[in-house]
Amino acid sequence: MKDIMSGHPDKFTETQHQDVTPAIDPSKVALSPGFTVCVVGASRGIGASIAYAYAQAGASTVILAARSADALETVAAKCREIQPKVVVHCVTCDITSDESVAALARRVKDIGRRLDVVVVNSGFAGTVTLKVTDGDPANWKKALEVNTLGTYHAAHHLLPILLEFDGAKSFLVVSSAAVAITEGIIANPQYTISKLAQLRLVEMVAKQYASQGLLIVGIHPGAVMTEMSMGAPEEFKQCKEP
């Protein structure tokens, strides 16, 4: 009998399908007039692609937030290219700073009369180290500040704005299936533990606000070849989605 688990872990399923299903195809989504989304961590990679998808889906207003103003402007230009009618606002924001995220929230309120979706995509992995006795403690601190504390900042300041408006509203957090990893070539403690704490925060907030019509979920996109993931071991890169 053929050992289908030999080689790379992506070979466990011999037949793989990589395509956009109709249910998640942004070109087939009809968003309501005035739909507004705020994407935190939108300057590159998954966050930028999320912004493009909302533009393609017909969002009226897309608010892009990240530390790099120049990178945000590049993403904004592509959003406008995808959907010329979309209104795009770029807000420089450091998710690790309570004051910075509070300023983002004030800007969001100034921009429009509604907020339908917040997407928290900011993330930090740092150099992969497999033992707590190795690596730099500063990377642990940054991972917790970005992945865990940053998500708290976003929830603390942006949830009240979501709750001000009637209708469907969502707080979406890009998390990672790495929360389940304890060994192997990418068992990076600073990343997996900070993401595990982030996921528990999402679960708790979901319980707290479910009765108010707020959908709060953690999204696990899998291994995606982005700029942030370039620091992963070469063996892992061979298993990533294109």
* Annotated catalytic residue within 191, 207, 209, 240: 191
Q: Is 191 a catalytic residue?
A: yes
The Cα–Cα gap between 241 and 63 comes to 27
pLDDT by residue (tens digit) across 164-222?
A: 988 889 999 998 777 777 776 777 888 889 999 999 999 999 999 999 999 999 988 76
Q: Which two tokens stand for residue 215?
A: 């959908």
For residue 233, pLDDT over 60 is answered with no
pTM for the whole thing?
0.84
Strand partners, 117: 37, 170
The number of angstroms, rounded, from the C-alpha of 71 to the middle of its chain's C-alpha atoms is 16
Q: Are the beta carbons of 140 and 133 closer than 8 angstroms?
A: no
pLDDT at 88: 98
45-75 burial code (b ≥16 CB/10 A, e <16): bbbbbbbbbbbbbbbbbbbbbbbeeebbeeb
Which one of the listed residues 195, 207, 209, 240 is annotated catalytic?
A: 195
Cβ atoms of residues 42 and 72 within 8 Å: yes
Which residue type, as a one-letter code, is found at position 45? G
Task: Tell whether domain 29-237 is in CATH 3.40.50.720.
Answer: yes
Hey, where are the domains in the chain? Answer: 29-237
- Known catalytic residue: 54? no
In tens, the pLDDT along 64-114 reads: 999 999 999 999 999 999 999 999 999 999 999 999 999 999 999 999 879
User: How sure is the predictor about 124, in pLDDT bands with cuts at 50, 70 and 90?
Assistant: confident
pLDDT at 4 over 60: no
